[in-house]
Chain A
Amino acid sequence: MSAGDLREQVREFLAAHDPAASDRLEFLRARFDAGLAWVHYPAGLGGQGLSRSLQPVADAEFAAAGAPTNRPERNGIGLGMAAPTILAYGSEEQKGAGSGRCGPERRSGASCSVSPAPALTWPAWRPGPSPTVPSGW
């Protein structure tokens, strides 16, 4: 998939899910389910197996639309370290627990509760421009 295709995909998603009119958590879950949370993750786990380098393309489209984020700057450890570890070594159950379905009903799943109190709704590690480095150690 090209950057242009991905941009188009995000625009279609935004047309179907108006960020201004959506509940934050529901929006993030829908983004996850659409494979637009972190595009290099596998399908079904928030991504669609694309190149990691395409993630900033999706992020820029969402940011331009004023879409809510899962505040990745607050959870460098959960998103940047726990999530790839679970992806590599976790059981299918553990991966599923972190798959954007970490509302109150799923809070006990291992990976979704790696995050601080606000549920880990979708993972978004990527090298970001934020001058505040997440507390990733």
Chain B
Amino acid sequence: MEAILKRTAQRVHESEDEKLLIEQAQSGDREAFEQLVRRHDRDILRLAFHMLGNREEAREVFQETFLKAYRSLGRFRFESSFYTWIYRIATNVSLDHLRKRQTLKEEISYESDTETHPDRPALKDTLAATTYYSNPERRLYGKEVGQKIQDALKTLSEKERLVFELRHYQGLRLKMIGEIMGSTEETAKNYLFRATQKLRAYLTNV
């Protein structure tokens, strides 16, 4: 009981401390903003890295997320936690990047189909070559199970991937994931269910 009270008191202290930092950052205190960034930047980078699958895009998402936060912090009204707010920005930016990548894929596929660029590598290969799942660093680890998991994760839709990432790897509760997605816990549950169904089917024989 004492431990619970202590943890609760610590959380209250942390949340008050964060509120103060946000207020200072809102009034233009760069150092306060940087402290806020440091509290969450590892998690945001991990999310971006897992979602986008390569260093360059992960770095872009990281930067875009915190720059958006920096520019719109003045409009943050403490209606959600800062954690939820920054994750919401990061997930939207990540999804935008995935969509842009999809658009690019469709455009290049169209051109490739016309057979006007026979020397151009297939987009599938280009994308695969730049993804985290198949980049040289990862290949060095090259374990069969890891590769299977990466392949399985590629079968998920953007939102299924996002919910699975946030729940499985980032350990967020489904309620918070719903909030981050601007949706409900129920929707998050459904995405998680669909994701696990697909993964189960893919990984049956591993």
Do A and B come together as binding partners? no
B interface residue numbers (CB < 8 A to A): none
